[in-house]
Structure formats: structure tokens, C-alpha cells
């Protein structure tokens, strides 16, 4: 995937810049909403103008990014797909079809998931930084939860990769198996595919459940700490919103990490195209 960044650096740089601007807007929302609340309580409209301005800015950047992304990544997929099929002349139709689907997954990751990953990561860093200025005890609580989440998914990463390898092996055999017209082979293939899917789903569910327990503990602690140690209503509201933003990012980042593990395995397959014979 690093080669894609190098080859299409111009397109990736433009979309990354728009994503960073969009992320900055979303990170500032809780703080600006809190300022607007305090402004209204002080009988001033300044905070409301700031909130409206931020909303217009974030909306404009988000719309522009999506218009740019759809065109840029359509071109990337078309170019790479044509080149891969030309290099992969020695493989079976089943393998080539599966690999075109896998290539589409990679391009869709860059178009859809990578911007969300960047927004979540920048949102997480920005949230933690702002919380360090608003409430130091909640800031340390977030660091503890972050460390626990990273440890959880690091421990299960190898298992996720192994399950994805088994699933992709089945995908590469699909067209040939269906084309054989053998009901027994088709049935075995479908059962094997579903077994790998179930294993991945069960692992994701277990990790999600454990991670959610971390988040429940954090939000309960944060609400109490915010109310006890903060005077301004707007600041209390901003703190609670930032904790929710932190929780959302911490629940989404593992999902993107699992996607990255899957795409890393796929990239290894596609990188080997043209360097070996028929699979």
C-alpha cells in the first residue's frame, strides 16, 4: 500500500489536506458549543456567531472532500485494475476475479475508511489535548483507557490476520468452484467461507465488548469528575462532549485497525501478481 501512496502522491496529498481541515472543524465543535452556552448565559450572541461560522466551514470542507474523492479514487481503481489484469495473465479466471474484488477493497479503504481513520486519529489527539487543559484527571483517565484498548487489539492482531488469510483463500477459489457445477464442492466452499466470517465476527464482538466496558468506566468517572471540579456550565458540557468524542474515536480506531490487517494480507497477494505462476 505504500507504493500506492508514492505513485498517486498528488491525489492523496489533496484529499489528506481536506480531511485534516474537516477533522479540525469537528474537534472544535464541543469547545465552541460550550463557549456559545456561556455566551448566551452572559446575554451575548458572540458565541452563537462563532458556532454558526464553524458549522458552515465544516460543512463546506466535508462536501468538497467528497466531490474530490469520488473522482480521484475512480481513476486510481481503473488504472490499477487494468494493469493488474494485464500482469496476471497466467492465473485462472477465479483468481483474477477475486483479486479485482480485493483491489476494489483497497481503493475503497483509501476513499472511505482512510479519511475516517484520519479524522478519528486527529479527533482523538485533539480531544485528549483539549481535555488536558480542561480537566487533568479526565485526561489521565483517557490515557489509561487508550493504553488498555491498544493492548487488547495488539494481542488479537495475529489471530485476525490468520482468519483473513483463510477467508481470502476461499474467495480466490470461488469462481472455479461455482463453474465446476459440483453441488458438494459449492456447499463445502460456502460452509468454509461462512466459518471464516463467523470466526472474524466472533473475535470482533469479543474485542468490542471488552473495549466497551473500558468506555463505560471512563464516562461514569468523567461525569463525576467534571461536575465536581468545574464551575461553568458550558465547560462541563464541553468536557462531557469531548469524552463522548474520545469514546467514539476509540471504538472506531480498532475497526480501522482490523481493516488494515485484512488489507495488508490482500496487498501481499496482489504484490505477488506477475512474480509467480498460476495460484
**Is there a domain that residue 277 lies in?**
no
How would residue 279 be classed by pLDDT, with cut points 50, 70 and 90?
A: very low
Q: Which residue has the higher pLDDT, 138 or 114?
A: 138
Phi, psi of 159 (to 5 degrees): -65, -40
Has residue 140 got a pLDDT over 90?
A: yes
How would residue 94 be classed by pLDDT, with cut points 50, 70 and 90?
A: low
Instruction: Quote the number of domains for the chain.
Output: 1
pLDDT tens digit sequence for 154-211: 888 888 888 888 887 787 777 778 777 788 888 888 888 888 888 888 888 888 889 8
Q: Which residue has the higher pLDDT, 94 or 136?
A: 136
| pLDDT attached to residue 73 | 75
Has residue 66 got a pLDDT over 90?
A: no
Q: What is the mean pLDDT of residues 37-53?
A: 85
| pLDDT attached to residue 147 | 93
| pLDDT attached to residue 241 | 86
| pLDDT attached to residue 141 | 92
The Cβ of residue 247 has, within 10 Å, a number of other Cβ atoms equal to: 21
How would residue 90 be classed by pLDDT, with cut points 50, 70 and 90?
A: low
**Is there a domain that residue 159 lies in?**
yes
| pLDDT attached to residue 218 | 92
Q: What is the mean pLDDT of residues 64-87?
A: 75
**Is there a domain that residue 23 lies in?**
yes
**Is there a domain that residue 278 lies in?**
no
How would residue 93 be classed by pLDDT, with cut points 50, 70 and 90?
A: low
Instruction: Report the CATH number that the domain containing residue 209 is assigned in CATH.
Output: 1.20.1560.10
Q: What is the mean pLDDT of residues 245-250?
A: 85
**Is there a domain that residue 94 lies in?**
yes
**Is there a domain that residue 208 lies in?**
yes
String of DSSP letters for the chain: -HHHHHHTHHHHHHHHHHHHHHHHHHHHHHHHHHHHHHHHHTT-SHHHHHHHHHHHHHHHHHHHHHHHHHHHHHHHHHHHHHHHHHHTTTS-HHHHHHHHHHHHHHHHIIIIIHHHHHHHHHHHHHHHHHHHHH-HHHHHHHHHHHHHHHHHHHHHHHHHHHHHHHHHHHHHHHHHHHHHT-HHHHHHHHHHHHHHHHHHHHHHHHHHHHHHHHHHHHHHHHHHHHHHH---HHHHHHHHHHHHHHHHHHHHHHHHHHHHHHHHHHHHHHHTTTTS---
**Is there a domain that residue 279 lies in?**
no
Q: What is the mean pLDDT of residues 254-266?
A: 74
How would residue 95 be classed by pLDDT, with cut points 50, 70 and 90?
A: low
Highest mean pLDDT among 1-15, 88-102, 110-124: 110-124
**Is there a domain that residue 197 lies in?**
yes
| pLDDT attached to residue 143 | 93
State the residue range of the domain holding 128.
Answer: 2-271
Has residue 275 got a pLDDT over 60?
A: no
Amino acid at each position: 500500500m505504500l507504493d500506492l501512496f508514492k505513485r498517486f502522491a498528488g491525489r492523496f496529498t489533496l484529499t489528506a489536506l481536506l480531511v485534516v481541515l474537516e477533522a479540525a472543524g469537528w474537534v472544535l465543535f464541543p469547545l465552541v458549543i460550550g463557549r456559545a452556552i456561556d455566551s448566551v448565559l452572559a446575554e451575548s450572541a458572540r458565541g452563537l456567531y462563532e458556532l454558526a461560522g464553524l458549522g458552515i466551514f465544516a460543512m463546506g470542507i466535508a462536501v468538497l472532500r467528497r466531490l474530490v474523492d469520488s473522482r480521484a479514487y475512480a481513476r486510481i481503481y481503473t488504472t490499477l485494475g487494468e494493469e493488474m489484469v494485464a500482469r496476471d495473465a497466467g492465473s485462472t479466471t477465479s483468481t483474477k476475479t477475486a483479486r479485482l474484488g480485493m483491489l476494489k477493497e483497497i481503493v475503497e479503504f483509501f476513499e472511505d475508511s482512510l479519511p475516517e481513520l484520519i479524522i478519528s486519529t486527529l479527533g482523538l489527539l485533539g480531544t485528549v489535548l483539549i481535555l488536558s487543559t480542561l480537566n487533568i484527571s479526565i485526561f489521565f483517565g483517557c490515557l489509561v483507557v487508550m493504553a488498555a484498548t491498544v493492548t487488547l487489539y495488539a494481542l488479537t492482531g495475529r489471530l485476525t490476520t490468520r482468519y483473513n488469510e483463510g477467508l481470502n483463500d476461499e474467495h480466490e477459489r470461488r469462481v472455479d468452484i461455482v463453474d465446476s457445477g459440483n453441488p458438494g464442492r459449492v456447499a463445502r466452499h460456502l460452509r468454509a467461507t461462512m466459518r471464516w466470517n463467523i470466526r472474524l465476527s466472533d473475535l470482533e464482538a469479543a474485542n468490542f465488548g471488552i473495549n466497551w466496558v473500558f468506555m463505560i468506566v471512563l464516562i461514569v468517572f468523567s461525569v463525576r469528575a467534571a461536575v465536581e471540579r468545574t464551575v461553568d456550565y458550558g465547560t462541563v458540557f464541553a468536557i462531557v462532549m469531548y469524552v463522548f468524542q474520545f469514546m467514539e474515536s476509540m471504538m472506531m480506531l480498532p475497526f480501522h485497525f482490523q481493516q488494515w490487517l485484512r488489507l495488508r494480507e490482500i496487498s501481499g497477494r496482489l504484490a505477488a501478481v506477475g512474480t509467480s505462476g498460476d495460484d
